[in-house]
Chains A and B, each alone.
Chain A
Amino acid sequence: MSVLKKRELPMGIIFIIALLCILDYFIIGITGLSNIVKMIGNWAIVISAIAMGLGMLNLLLVNARNIMQRKGNYFYSIWTVIVMLLTFFLAAYGGMDYPPYKWIFDNIYQPTGQAFFGLSFLYTCAAAYIAFRVRTLETSMLLIAGIIGMIGRTPIILTLWEGFTPISDWITNVPGGGTFTAFKISIGLGTILIGIRTIIGIERSYIGEEIA
């Protein structure tokens, strides 16, 4: 088997890079090490940019396959490919400030994106009317917290009675903030654990293997 296909090579690279980054983070003042980590950081920025191009290529391949196989609503795929290639070539030809490219971005992409999220607001409101009912103890608590939360973000009500502000702040800061602090700590601990598992080679899903 070629050395490039062996799993030891990517695992070794990950181990060395992770070790260098960790050492650089905790041990400040080693110039040589710092320069190496800076160089790795630069590579990561370049790879991030390449990943966007790779994403576009993948989207192109998936849609091209749909078109060739006449799958489902394949005409949407045709439209996706046309718009994607048009936008790409306009930006590649004239740069990010090329007026036709900016026009597409500012007048089509941004308003449609906004419209999509505006629609989700309307659906959320309609769903809230049905969900916020005093059916059980839990839904009653959700109702009370939801109503106070909404009042806390309705300026005219806050000007009528200032007493709502501390109640709304308390719900946001104490039960809300406390719960999310616990989430953040759990996510942090989980990330450290995955990092350690990756460095010591137990976690291998990133090279297409099952988790050990």
Chain B
Amino acid sequence: MTAERKSLAEKILTINPKIIMIILLILLIIPLAKPLALPLAISKNTKHFYEIIDGFKPGAKVLFNYIPTTATMGDLCPPSVPVIYHLYTKHVKIYFVGVGVADGILTLIDTQVFSTIPPEKFGYKYGEDWCNLGFLAGGDITWATFAKDIRAAVKFDRYGNPIDSLPMMKEINSIKDFDYVIHCGESITILVRQWGDPYKIPLLVISTTAAVPMDVIPFYRTGQIYEYLGGLGAGAEYEKLVNRPGKAIASVDAITLTHIFLIGIIILGNIVYSSTRLRGGKIR
């Protein structure tokens, strides 16, 4: 009997990682195929982010720096959609741009945002209410040049129009002319160093879940970042706040199931591990 128990403990502790992966895969697929609509609590950061955008006055000028990569798009693109939707409903002027080093900037905004919520559907007219200034590759100097004099860095928009031909660009010369900056992507340190601190412009950040403690929190605690949304979970909360369920809510069900499974097996593994050690059993 004891030998059988030990054998079971041994099996649990040395479980084949492929079994864990297969179970995780199943738990990921089920809610994506059939959303479970699990309950969702709204965090104070998401609520504050929502309240800030809700307070935007019609006609406010918002620079939206959109730089997810193929690595981060799963965590960044779903939260950006309800935020942009919220901006449309506030009738603010949106200046999209992609300043940074990231693959897929040019097409990700088309496939992940404009295909889901085309600006025209919300009465937005290109050049007057929204524009896409395209992609600017580079590090600190590119960010600094764009902030100092936009026309020195950008001559044509994403669709090849001279930026001076866009009516909404008439009042814009430098980053100081925007009321808010919303940044969706990595490069948080450069954002604060080149845009936030020198020009004292309020920064709102949509960040990956993993980057929140290391990249965002140090600047959030000092007030250099006004507010942030931390990845897919916060995106789902935002979708709930704007009452527009989308990809983030569907994905957060998958996150919930996989997290619960992972927490469960880690606790089970530790109970078996500790009890085996207390009994003086050998553990490989």
Q: Closest Cβ of chain A: how far from B140's Cβ, in Å?
A: 9
Whether the pair B137, A155 counts as a contact (CB closer than 8 A) is no
Instruction: Specify which chain A residues have a CB less than 8 angstroms from the CB of B265 in the assembled complex.
Output: 129
Contact B259 A52 (CB under 8 A): no
Contact A143 B270 (CB under 8 A): yes
Confirm or deny: B30 has a beta carbon within 8 angstroms of a beta carbon on chain A: no
Cβ-closest 10 pairs across A and B: A113-B70, A41-B145, A126-B17, A177-B217, A48-B138, A44-B141, A176-B213, A181-B218, A154-B259, A159-B39
Of A49, A134, A180, the residue contacting B270 (CB under 8 A) is A134
Write the nearest CB–CB distance from A140 to chain B, whole angstroms. 9
Taking A41-B152, A44-B142, A45-B145 as contacts, is the C-beta distance between A129 and B273 under 8 angstroms? no
Report A-chain residues with C-beta under 8 Å of the C-beta of B74: 114, 117-118
Q: Which of A60-68, A78-86, A102-110 lies at the binding interface?
A: A102-110
Q: Which A residues lie within 8 Å of B145 (CB)?
A: 38, 41-42, 44-45
- The 14 sampled A-B contact pairs (Cβ below 8 Å) are A41-B148, A45-B145, A102-B107, A129-B17, A133-B273, A143-B270, A147-B263, A154-B263, A155-B233, A155-B236, A156-B38, A156-B256, A177-B220, A184-B189
Q: Which residues of A contact B (CB under 8 A)?
A: 25, 34, 37-38, 40-42, 44-45, 48-49, 52, 96, 102, 105-106, 109-110, 113-114, 117-118, 122-123, 125-130, 132-134, 143, 146-147, 150-151, 153-159, 162, 165, 172-173, 176-177, 180-181, 183-184
Q: Which residue of the partner chain A has the closest CB to B75?
A: A117
- Assess the B153–A129 pair: CB atoms within 8 A: no
Contact B221 A125, beta carbon cutoff 8 Å: no
B187 part of interface (Cβ distance < 8 Å):
no
Instruction: Give A37's nearest chain B residue, CB to CB.
Output: B148
Q: Which of B20-28, B57-65, B162-170 contacts A (4 or more CB under 8 A)?
A: B20-28
Using a CB–CB distance below 8 Å, which chain B residues touch chain A? 15, 17, 20-21, 24-25, 38-41, 43, 69-71, 73-74, 103-104, 106-108, 111, 136-139, 141-142, 144-145, 148-149, 152-153, 189, 198, 209, 212-215, 217-218, 220-221, 233, 236-237, 252, 255-256, 258-260, 262-263, 265-267, 269-270, 273-274
Greatest chain B CB density within 10 A among A37, A110, A123, A156 is at: A156
* 10 new A-B contacts at CB < 8 Å, known A159-B40, A172-B213, A180-B217: A38-B145, A41-B148, A96-B106, A106-B107, A117-B74, A134-B273, A157-B260, A158-B41, A159-B41, A172-B217
Query: Is there an interface contact between A128 and B266, defined as CB atoms closer than 8 Å?
Result: yes
Question: Is the CB–CB distance between B141 and A177 below 8 Å?
Answer: no
Q: Assess the B38–A129 pair: CB atoms within 8 A.
A: no
* B107 in complex: contacting residue of A48, A105, A117, A183, CB < 8 Å: A105
Known contacts A41-B153, A114-B74, A155 near B39 by CB under 8 Å: yes
